[in-house]
Protein backbone atom coordinates (compact mmCIF):
# COMPACT_ATOMS: atom_id res chain seq x y z
CA UNK A 1 0.00 0.00 0.00
CA UNK A 2 1.39 3.39 -0.96
CA UNK A 3 1.03 6.13 1.59
CA UNK A 4 0.62 9.73 0.51
CA UNK A 5 3.29 12.08 1.83
CA UNK A 6 2.33 15.65 2.58
CA UNK A 7 4.75 18.50 3.20
CA UNK A 8 4.55 22.26 3.24
CA UNK A 9 5.40 24.08 0.04
CA UNK A 10 8.03 26.15 1.87
CA UNK A 11 9.92 22.94 2.66
CA UNK A 12 10.54 22.45 -1.04
CA UNK A 13 12.11 25.84 -1.56
CA UNK A 14 15.75 25.90 -2.61
CA UNK A 15 17.96 28.94 -2.47
CA UNK A 16 19.20 29.57 -5.98
CA UNK A 17 22.82 30.66 -6.18
CA UNK A 18 24.06 33.72 -8.02
CA UNK A 19 27.40 34.35 -9.74
CA UNK A 20 29.79 36.27 -7.51
CA UNK A 21 32.70 38.62 -8.09
CA UNK A 22 35.37 39.28 -5.48
CA UNK A 23 34.35 42.92 -5.08
CA UNK A 24 31.41 45.15 -6.03
CA UNK A 25 32.85 48.66 -6.37
CA UNK A 26 30.29 51.48 -6.30
CA UNK A 27 31.47 54.59 -8.15
CA UNK A 28 28.74 56.86 -6.92
CA UNK A 29 25.62 57.21 -4.82
CA UNK A 30 24.56 60.82 -5.15
CA UNK A 31 21.46 62.89 -4.52
CA UNK A 32 19.46 64.52 -7.27
CA UNK A 33 20.87 67.95 -6.39
CA UNK A 34 24.28 66.60 -7.38
CA UNK A 35 22.98 65.73 -10.83
CA UNK A 36 21.13 69.02 -11.04
CA UNK A 37 24.45 70.83 -10.54
CA UNK A 38 25.42 69.55 -13.97
CA UNK A 39 28.39 67.90 -15.70
CA UNK A 40 31.01 69.94 -13.84
CA UNK A 41 29.88 68.60 -10.46
CA UNK A 42 29.78 65.02 -11.78
CA UNK A 43 33.20 65.48 -13.35
CA UNK A 44 34.64 66.57 -10.00
CA UNK A 45 33.09 63.55 -8.33
CA UNK A 46 34.51 61.04 -10.79
CA UNK A 47 37.93 62.71 -10.85
CA UNK A 48 38.17 62.28 -7.08
CA UNK A 49 36.73 58.76 -7.18
CA UNK A 50 39.31 57.68 -9.78
CA UNK A 51 42.12 58.20 -7.26
CA UNK A 52 40.50 55.83 -4.78
CA UNK A 53 39.48 53.30 -7.44
CA UNK A 54 43.15 52.73 -8.22
CA UNK A 55 43.90 52.25 -4.51
CA UNK A 56 41.02 49.79 -4.03
CA UNK A 57 42.11 47.73 -7.06
CA UNK A 58 45.67 47.61 -5.73
CA UNK A 59 44.38 46.43 -2.36
CA UNK A 60 42.32 43.65 -3.96
CA UNK A 61 45.35 42.54 -5.99
CA UNK A 62 47.04 41.67 -2.69
CA UNK A 63 44.24 39.17 -1.93
CA UNK A 64 43.89 37.57 -5.34
CA UNK A 65 46.12 37.29 -8.39
CA UNK A 66 43.22 37.94 -10.72
CA UNK A 67 40.59 39.85 -8.71
CA UNK A 68 37.10 39.95 -10.18
CA UNK A 69 35.86 43.50 -9.68
CA UNK A 70 32.63 44.90 -11.09
CA UNK A 71 31.63 48.56 -10.89
CA UNK A 72 28.18 49.99 -10.28
CA UNK A 73 26.40 53.31 -9.92
CA UNK A 74 23.11 54.08 -8.16
CA UNK A 75 20.80 56.89 -9.31
CA UNK A 76 18.25 58.32 -6.87
CA UNK A 77 14.88 58.24 -8.60
CA UNK A 78 12.98 57.40 -5.41
CA UNK A 79 12.95 60.58 -3.32
CA UNK A 80 13.16 63.08 -6.19
CA UNK A 81 12.95 62.60 -9.93
CA UNK A 82 15.16 65.01 -11.81
CA UNK A 83 15.41 65.06 -15.59
CA UNK A 84 14.93 61.78 -17.50
CA UNK A 85 17.04 58.65 -18.07
CA UNK A 86 17.52 59.76 -21.68
CA UNK A 87 19.14 63.01 -20.52
CA UNK A 88 20.79 62.02 -17.25
CA UNK A 89 22.40 58.63 -17.88
CA UNK A 90 24.45 59.65 -20.96
CA UNK A 91 25.81 62.61 -18.94
CA UNK A 92 26.84 60.28 -16.10
CA UNK A 93 28.53 57.82 -18.45
CA UNK A 94 30.32 60.58 -20.34
CA UNK A 95 31.76 62.20 -17.21
CA UNK A 96 32.83 58.80 -15.86
CA UNK A 97 34.58 58.00 -19.14
CA UNK A 98 36.40 61.36 -19.10
CA UNK A 99 37.81 60.35 -15.69
CA UNK A 100 38.92 56.99 -17.06
CA UNK A 101 36.16 55.03 -15.33
CA UNK A 102 33.74 52.41 -16.65
CA UNK A 103 30.34 51.74 -15.06
CA UNK A 104 29.40 48.08 -15.55
CA UNK A 105 26.04 48.13 -13.76
CA UNK A 106 23.55 50.96 -13.24
CA UNK A 107 20.64 50.77 -10.78
CA UNK A 108 17.63 52.87 -9.80
CA UNK A 109 17.22 53.53 -6.08
CA UNK A 110 13.47 52.99 -6.40
CA UNK A 111 14.28 49.37 -7.27
CA UNK A 112 15.47 48.89 -3.69
CA UNK A 113 11.84 49.50 -2.66
CA UNK A 114 10.04 47.60 -5.43
CA UNK A 115 11.59 45.69 -8.32
CA UNK A 116 9.90 43.40 -10.82
CA UNK A 117 6.67 43.69 -8.79
CA UNK A 118 8.41 42.43 -5.65
CA UNK A 119 8.28 44.62 -2.54
CA UNK A 120 11.94 44.22 -1.66
CA UNK A 121 12.02 46.75 1.17
CA UNK A 122 8.90 45.25 2.74
CA UNK A 123 10.40 41.77 2.47
CA UNK A 124 13.64 42.84 4.16
CA UNK A 125 11.71 44.69 6.86
CA UNK A 126 10.00 41.43 7.82
CA UNK A 127 13.43 39.85 8.30
CA UNK A 128 14.51 42.39 10.91
CA UNK A 129 15.38 40.82 14.26
CA UNK A 130 15.83 43.46 16.91
CA UNK A 131 18.69 42.96 19.33
CA UNK A 132 17.03 43.03 22.79
CA UNK A 133 18.89 45.36 25.16
CA UNK A 134 20.01 43.91 28.51
CA UNK A 135 17.25 44.26 31.09
CA UNK A 136 14.57 45.08 28.54
CA UNK A 137 11.06 43.85 29.32
CA UNK A 138 9.13 44.36 26.10
CA UNK A 139 7.67 47.81 26.82
CA UNK A 140 8.98 49.20 23.53
CA UNK A 141 6.77 48.47 20.50
CA UNK A 142 8.48 46.36 17.80
CA UNK A 143 10.18 47.98 14.82
CA UNK A 144 7.36 46.72 12.56
CA UNK A 145 5.06 49.18 14.37
CA UNK A 146 7.34 52.12 15.10
CA UNK A 147 9.58 52.16 12.03
CA UNK A 148 12.57 52.89 14.27
CA UNK A 149 15.51 50.54 14.87
CA UNK A 150 18.08 51.05 17.62
CA UNK A 151 21.34 49.35 18.57
CA UNK A 152 20.52 49.30 22.27
CA UNK A 153 18.29 50.61 25.05
CA UNK A 154 16.76 54.05 24.59
CA UNK A 155 16.57 56.47 27.50
CA UNK A 156 13.58 55.23 29.55
CA UNK A 157 10.43 57.36 29.45
CA UNK A 158 10.01 59.34 32.66
CA UNK A 159 6.83 58.28 34.52
CA UNK A 160 4.05 60.79 35.13
CA UNK A 161 3.17 62.19 38.59
CA UNK A 162 0.33 59.67 39.05
CA UNK A 163 2.73 56.75 38.82
CA UNK A 164 5.28 55.48 41.26
CA UNK A 165 8.16 57.64 42.39
CA UNK A 166 10.16 58.87 39.42
CA UNK A 167 13.67 57.58 38.95
CA UNK A 168 16.54 59.79 37.96
CA UNK A 169 17.56 60.23 34.32
CA UNK A 170 19.14 57.17 32.73
CA UNK A 171 21.31 57.32 29.59
CA UNK A 172 20.76 55.17 26.49
CA UNK A 173 22.94 52.08 26.28
CA UNK A 174 24.46 50.36 23.27
CA UNK A 175 23.87 46.59 23.38
CA UNK A 176 27.39 45.59 22.34
CA UNK A 177 29.23 48.57 23.82
CA UNK A 178 32.98 48.39 24.40
CA UNK A 179 33.78 50.52 27.44
CA UNK A 180 31.43 53.30 26.33
CA UNK A 181 28.21 53.37 24.32
CA UNK A 182 27.72 54.73 20.83
CA UNK A 183 23.94 54.74 20.69
CA UNK A 184 22.02 55.03 17.40
CA UNK A 185 18.32 55.15 16.63
CA UNK A 186 17.49 54.90 12.93
CA UNK A 187 14.21 55.80 11.20
CA UNK A 188 13.42 53.13 8.60
CA UNK A 189 10.32 54.73 7.10
CA UNK A 190 7.74 57.48 7.49
CA UNK A 191 4.08 57.68 6.54
CA UNK A 192 2.68 60.37 4.27
CA UNK A 193 -0.81 60.45 2.79
CA UNK A 194 -1.22 56.77 3.66
CA UNK A 195 1.93 55.84 1.76
CA UNK A 196 5.06 54.43 3.32
CA UNK A 197 8.24 56.31 2.40
CA UNK A 198 11.33 54.20 3.04
CA UNK A 199 14.35 55.99 4.45
CA UNK A 200 17.65 56.38 2.61
CA UNK A 201 19.56 54.16 5.12
CA UNK A 202 17.04 51.35 4.80
CA UNK A 203 17.03 51.40 0.99
CA UNK A 204 20.83 51.49 1.07
CA UNK A 205 20.81 48.41 3.31
CA UNK A 206 18.66 46.59 0.71
CA UNK A 207 21.15 47.76 -1.94
CA UNK A 208 24.06 46.32 0.05
CA UNK A 209 22.31 42.96 0.41
CA UNK A 210 21.79 42.85 -3.36
CA UNK A 211 25.43 43.70 -4.03
CA UNK A 212 26.53 41.02 -1.55
CA UNK A 213 24.43 38.37 -3.30
CA UNK A 214 22.25 37.84 -0.24
CA UNK A 215 18.86 39.05 -1.45
CA UNK A 216 16.24 36.39 -2.28
CA UNK A 217 12.47 36.15 -2.75
CA UNK A 218 11.07 32.64 -2.21
CA UNK A 219 14.57 31.33 -2.86
CA UNK A 220 14.94 33.15 -6.18
CA UNK A 221 17.48 35.95 -6.81
CA UNK A 222 16.09 39.45 -7.16
CA UNK A 223 17.50 42.57 -8.77
CA UNK A 224 19.00 40.46 -11.52
CA UNK A 225 20.81 42.63 -14.10
CA UNK A 226 19.17 43.09 -17.48
CA UNK A 227 21.44 43.64 -20.45
CA UNK A 228 21.23 47.05 -22.06
CA UNK A 229 20.86 46.69 -25.79
CA UNK A 230 22.62 49.95 -26.63
CA UNK A 231 19.42 51.70 -27.62
CA UNK A 232 18.37 55.15 -26.45
CA UNK A 233 17.44 55.35 -22.79
CA UNK A 234 13.72 55.97 -22.12
CA UNK A 235 12.25 59.33 -21.14
CA UNK A 236 10.37 57.79 -18.19
CA UNK A 237 12.15 56.36 -15.14
CA UNK A 238 9.49 53.69 -14.72
CA UNK A 239 10.34 52.32 -18.17
CA UNK A 240 13.98 51.81 -17.19
CA UNK A 241 14.89 48.35 -15.90
CA UNK A 242 15.72 48.27 -12.15
CA UNK A 243 19.30 47.10 -12.77
CA UNK A 244 21.15 47.32 -16.08
CA UNK A 245 24.40 45.76 -17.30
CA UNK A 246 25.89 48.47 -19.48
CA UNK A 247 29.09 46.77 -20.64
CA UNK A 248 30.15 43.38 -21.96
CA UNK A 249 31.87 42.54 -18.67
CA UNK A 250 31.84 38.90 -17.59
CA UNK A 251 32.32 39.91 -13.94
CA UNK A 252 29.09 39.44 -11.95
CA UNK A 253 27.19 42.26 -10.28
CA UNK A 254 27.09 40.69 -6.81
CA UNK A 255 30.27 39.98 -4.88
CA UNK A 256 31.76 38.59 -1.68
CA UNK A 257 32.48 42.14 -0.51
CA UNK A 258 31.45 45.66 -1.41
CA UNK A 259 33.28 48.95 -1.45
CA UNK A 260 31.45 52.26 -1.85
CA UNK A 261 33.15 55.53 -2.82
CA UNK A 262 31.19 58.58 -1.77
CA UNK A 263 31.41 62.11 -0.30
CA UNK A 264 31.95 62.24 3.45
CA UNK A 265 28.53 63.87 3.98
CA UNK A 266 27.10 60.34 3.64
CA UNK A 267 28.98 59.03 6.69
CA UNK A 268 26.00 59.18 9.08
CA UNK A 269 23.73 57.46 6.55
CA UNK A 270 26.16 54.59 6.06
CA UNK A 271 26.63 54.17 9.83
CA UNK A 272 22.87 53.67 9.94
CA UNK A 273 23.09 51.16 7.06
CA UNK A 274 25.51 49.02 9.04
CA UNK A 275 23.20 49.11 12.07
CA UNK A 276 20.36 47.78 9.90
CA UNK A 277 22.53 45.06 8.34
CA UNK A 278 23.52 43.86 11.81
CA UNK A 279 19.86 43.15 12.64
CA UNK A 280 18.64 41.36 9.49
CA UNK A 281 18.01 37.63 9.47
CA UNK A 282 19.62 37.04 6.08
CA UNK A 283 18.57 34.03 3.99
CA UNK A 284 20.54 31.13 5.49
CA UNK A 285 20.98 29.37 2.16
CA UNK A 286 22.44 32.47 0.53
CA UNK A 287 24.79 33.01 3.46
CA UNK A 288 26.05 29.43 3.27
CA UNK A 289 26.64 29.63 -0.47
CA UNK A 290 28.72 32.79 -0.17
CA UNK A 291 30.73 31.51 2.77
CA UNK A 292 31.54 28.17 1.12
CA UNK A 293 32.47 29.63 -2.25
CA UNK A 294 34.60 32.44 -0.83
CA UNK A 295 36.43 30.02 1.47
CA UNK A 296 37.11 27.69 -1.47
CA UNK A 297 38.77 30.62 -3.27
CA UNK A 298 40.93 31.40 -0.28
CA UNK A 299 39.28 34.75 0.51
CA UNK A 300 36.80 33.98 3.31
CA UNK A 301 34.29 36.66 4.26
CA UNK A 302 33.57 38.00 7.76
CA UNK A 303 30.72 36.27 9.57
CA UNK A 304 28.95 39.60 10.16
CA UNK A 305 27.32 40.82 6.97
CA UNK A 306 27.92 44.48 7.85
CA UNK A 307 31.68 43.81 7.99
CA UNK A 308 31.63 42.75 4.32
CA UNK A 309 30.80 46.33 3.31
CA UNK A 310 33.63 48.86 3.21
CA UNK A 311 33.69 52.54 2.30
CA UNK A 312 35.95 55.33 1.16
CA UNK A 313 34.61 58.76 2.11
CA UNK A 314 36.30 61.51 0.15
CA UNK A 315 36.61 65.23 0.73
CA UNK A 316 34.41 67.43 -1.42
CA UNK A 317 35.48 70.86 -2.68
CA UNK A 318 35.23 73.30 0.22
CA UNK A 319 35.70 70.58 2.86
CA UNK A 320 38.79 70.31 5.02
CA UNK A 321 38.20 66.98 6.73
CA UNK A 322 40.05 64.84 4.20
CA UNK A 323 39.19 61.35 2.96
CA UNK A 324 38.82 58.50 5.37
CA UNK A 325 38.24 54.80 4.94
CA UNK A 326 36.13 52.51 7.12
Per-residue pLDDT, averaged over 89-111, amounts to: 96
Give the least confident one: 73-82, 176-185, 256-265: 176-185
Across 158-172, 188-202, 205-219, the highest mean pLDDT is recorded for: 205-219
Q: Is the pLDDT reported for residue 134 higher than 60?
A: no
Per-residue pLDDT, averaged over 81-106, amounts to: 94
Per-residue pLDDT, averaged over 139-158, amounts to: 78
Per-residue pLDDT, averaged over 62-79, amounts to: 93
Q: Is the pLDDT reported for residue 65 higher than 90?
A: no
Q: How confident is the model at residue 268 (pLDDT cuts 50, 70, 90)?
A: very high
- The architecture of the domain spanning 13-125+191-325 is 3-Layer(aba) Sandwich (3.40)
Q: Would you state the pLDDT for residue 315?
A: 86
Of 54 and 13, the one with more pLDDT = 54
Q: How confident is the model at residue 293 (pLDDT cuts 50, 70, 90)?
A: very high
Whose CA is closest to 266, among 200, 187, 210? 200
Q: Is the pLDDT reported for residue 10 higher than 70?
A: no
What are the extents of the domains in the chain?
Answer: 13-125+191-325
Q: Would you state the pLDDT for residue 322?
A: 46
Q: What is the mean pLDDT of the chain?
A: 87
Q: Would you state the pLDDT for residue 29?
A: 81
User: Which percentage of the chain shows pLDDT scores above 90?
Assistant: 65
Amino acid sequence: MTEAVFQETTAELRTQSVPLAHLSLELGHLYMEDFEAGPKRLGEHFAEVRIWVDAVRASMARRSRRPRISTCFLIDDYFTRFSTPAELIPMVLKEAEKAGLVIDYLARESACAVADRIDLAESVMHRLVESPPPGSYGSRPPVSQTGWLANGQRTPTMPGPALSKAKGWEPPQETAARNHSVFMDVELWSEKDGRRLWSCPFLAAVWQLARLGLLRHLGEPVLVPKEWQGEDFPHDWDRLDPLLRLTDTKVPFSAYRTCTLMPNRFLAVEDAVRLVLDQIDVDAGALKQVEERSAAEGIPVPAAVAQRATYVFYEEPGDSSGAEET
